[in-house]
């Protein structure tokens, strides 16, 4: 599809104030995010590791052929069983401008957030939930993309929710230890990761796929009807246009977005023009408290 077939949105969207109290448009962070994802794409192609733009980034493919204009982050997914290979690939091949964090490489990493963070070193971000979800890793606080692991899950929705509750019941204790008492809950992290591995192996051939069950808040932002998706909708990953580049996403990316966000999330045509259905009052950047787009200086 050409760009003419996508929604054209020239509205300004506020990114909030940077460390110097200057406001920026959300689109100013997009080149940094694109730089990170292109580096991940290079590393994954070199090492034959499949990846997929996911969640909001997948919706961006469908509606915009790139970034959602007010989206201030990027979401990526890999298969759970490719996590060890990606760790080694990032250790060996990630460019010097970038760093990565994950539990498999650094036990200080918070296991209740997406499985990896890949950061652009020459930048800075303090996340909205920085106090309750602090970054304990020492590779810096650069602007990042999230990578989540996908795994097979029970085909019965109630059983799937039971698995998520395993980590939900531990989240308050985990946060109290980590954020307030500054005690690293290593034993709890290991128990969660062992539980994750057990579930991934038990449901390896399930017809349904979802993000790792040890992320406790995955169903909190909005009560989604579907937390899991047919395996054929997700796999195999295939290429789509994203900001003029060929990047990977899910096998049936539009169907994924329909299942994840509902029919009303998809662009529609009115009077010969593509329209994004999300009301203007809900088009907000939401992931950062403050930031520095051009250096790692915090002030």
Please check the confidence at residue 3 and state whether its pLDDT lies above 60.
Answer: no
Q: What is the mean pLDDT of the chain?
A: 93
Q: Quickly state the pLDDT bin for 233 (edges 50, 70, 90).
A: very high
Q: Tens digit of pLDDT for each residue in 16-56?
A: 999 999 999 999 999 999 999 999 999 999 999 999 999 99
Closest CA to 80 of 50, 106, 107, 109: 50
Please check the confidence at residue 1 and state whether its pLDDT lies above 60.
Answer: no
Report the pLDDT averaged over residues 223-249.
Answer: 93
Please check the confidence at residue 93 and state whether its pLDDT lies above 60.
Answer: yes
Share of the chain above pLDDT 70, in %: 97
Please check the confidence at residue 212 and state whether its pLDDT lies above 80.
Answer: yes
Q: Tens digit of pLDDT for each residue in 268-298?
A: 888 888 899 899 998 988 888 899 999 999 8
Q: Which residue has the tokens 């509750």?
A: 165
Please check the confidence at residue 221 and state whether its pLDDT lies above 70.
Answer: no
Please report whether residue 294 resides in a domain: no
Query: Residue 217 has what pLDDT?
Result: 84
Closest CA to 292 of 68, 29, 37: 29
Paired sense of beta strands 75-79 and 143-153, if any: parallel
What DSSP designation does 263 have? G
- Classify 73 as helix, strand or coil: coil
Report the pLDDT averaged over residues 156-173.
Answer: 92
If phi > 0 it is left, if psi is from -120 to 50 it is alpha, else beta; for residue 182 that is left
Query: Residue 222 has what pLDDT?
Result: 52
| Helix intervals (H) in 1-103 | 30-46, 55-64, 83-93
Please report whether residue 299 resides in a domain: no
If phi > 0 it is left, if psi is from -120 to 50 it is alpha, else beta; for residue 92 that is alpha
Q: What residues make up the domain containing 53?
A: 3-272
Per the structure, how many domains does the chain have? Answer: 1
Whether 90 contacts 84, CB under 8 Å: no
Share of the chain above pLDDT 90, in %: 80
Please report whether residue 278 resides in a domain: no
Q: What is the dihedral of CA 21, 25, 29, 31, to 10 degrees?
A: -140
Please report whether residue 284 resides in a domain: no
**Integer Cα distance of 296 and 277 in angstroms:** 36
Please report whether residue 291 resides in a domain: no
Whether 186 contacts 205, CB under 8 Å: no
Report the pLDDT averaged over residues 202-225.
Answer: 85
Tokens of 287: 């992931």
Please report whether residue 241 resides in a domain: yes
Please report whether residue 293 resides in a domain: no
Report the pLDDT averaged over residues 198-210.
Answer: 97
Query: Residue 220 has what pLDDT?
Result: 59
Please report whether residue 286 resides in a domain: no
Query: Residue 240 has what pLDDT?
Result: 97
Paired sense of beta strands 208-211 and 273-275, if any: unpaired
Report the pLDDT averaged over residues 145-154.
Answer: 97
Q: Quickly state the pLDDT bin for 223 (edges 50, 70, 90).
A: low
Whether 196 contacts 213, CB under 8 Å: yes
Whether 113 contacts 133, CB under 8 Å: yes
Please check the confidence at residue 10 and state whether its pLDDT lies above 70.
Answer: yes
């Amino acid at each position: 599809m050409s760009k003419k077939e996508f929604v054209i949105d020239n509205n300004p969207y506020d990114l909030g104030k940077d460390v110097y109290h200057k406001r920026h448009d959300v689109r100013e962070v997009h080149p940094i995010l694109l730089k990170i994802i292109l580096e991940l794409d290079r590393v994954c192609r070199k090492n034959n590791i499949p990846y997929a733009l996911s969640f909001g980034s997948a919706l961006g493919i469908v509606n915009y052929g790139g970034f959602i204009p007010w989206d201030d982050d990027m979401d990526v997914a890999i298969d759970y069983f490719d996590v060890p290979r990606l760790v080694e690939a990032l250790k060996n091949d990630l460019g010097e401008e970038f760093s990565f964090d994950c539990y498999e490489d650094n036990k200080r990493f918070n296991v209740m957030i997406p499985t990896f963070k890949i950061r652009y070193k020459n930048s800075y971000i303090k996340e909205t939930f920085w106090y309750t979800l602090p970054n304990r890793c020492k590779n810096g606080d650069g602007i990042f993309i999230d990578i989540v692991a996908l795994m097979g899950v029970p085909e019965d929705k109630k059983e799937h929710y039971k698995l998520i509750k395993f980590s939900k019941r531990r989240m308050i204790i985990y946060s109290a230890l980590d954020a307030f008492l500054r005690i690293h809950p290593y034993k709890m992290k290991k128990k969660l990761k062992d539980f994750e591995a057990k579930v991934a192996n038990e449901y390896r051939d399930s017809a349904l796929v979802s993000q790792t069950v040890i992320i406790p808040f995955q169903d909190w932002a909005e009560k989604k009807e579907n937390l899991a998706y047919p395996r054929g909708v997700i796999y195999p990953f295939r290429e789509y246009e994203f900001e003029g580049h060929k990047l990977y996403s899910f096998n049936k990316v539009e169907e994924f977005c329909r299942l994840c966000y509902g029919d009303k999330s998809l662009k529609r045509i009115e009077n010969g023009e593509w329209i994004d259905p999300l009301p203007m009052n809900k088009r907000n950047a939401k992931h950062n408290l403050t930031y520095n787009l051009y250096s790692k200086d915090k002030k």
